[in-house]
Each structure stands twice: as C-alpha cells, then as structure tokens.
Amino acid sequence: MQLNFTGRNNLIVTPALKTYTQEKLQRLERRHTQVQKINIVFHVENVTHIAEATAHIDGAEIHAAAKATDMYVAIDELVDKLIGQVTKYKEKLSAHR
C-alpha cells in the first residue's frame, strides 16, 4: 500500500505524524489487501485539526475526513471511518456477485 502525505496551510508533516498514521493504517491493510494507494492530507483551521484521506481500491475512490482538537485524535477517527467505508464497499461488491 502506497501512502502519500500532504500538509496544507503551511503545516509540516513530521516523521512522528507519518509513523503514527502508518501504524494506524496497518489495521486497514490487514483487513483489506485491495487498497493500492491512500492520499492523506493534514491541515489546521483555527484550533480544529483536520485529517482527510482518499483510498484507491480496485477502480473506486473512497474519501473520509475527521476533525478534532488534536491531530492524533483526528487520525484515529479518520482510520475508523475509512475502515468502515471500505468494509461497506466490499460488502456491497460481494452482494452483487
């Protein structure tokens, strides 16, 4: 799985932030091996930390976003949302077959 990190509005993506996100996304990789690439964008608006991700899976794009007062909490929420959406997408595909 390829991960692309971007910081918006002069936010620098630190190695600690990258490592934390990679560790959390291992849950997604263990459950769903079809995920090829994930683009992750971090940014801050006033005091709100926002983490967004777009996952590319077998020709589909799944987008999730999370807001929190701490970036690490936003990442946790983002990964939970992403896992839920990917699971729902896979169930939808298997129901049609």
**CA–CA separation, 82 and 25 (whole Å):** 9
pLDDT in tens, 27-57: 888 877 778 899 999 999 989 999 999 999 8
**CA–CA separation, 65 and 41 (whole Å):** 9
Q: Which of 13-17, 58-62, 65-69 has the lowest mean pLDDT?
A: 58-62
pLDDT of residue 33: 74
Average pLDDT of the residues in 55-71? 91
pLDDT of residue 96: 65
Q: How many residues does the chain have?
A: 97
Q: What are phi and psi of 3, to 5 degrees?
A: -115, 130
User: Helices in the chain by DSSP H: which ranges?
Assistant: 15-31, 71-96
In order of their start, the domains of the chain are 2-96 (3.30.160.100)
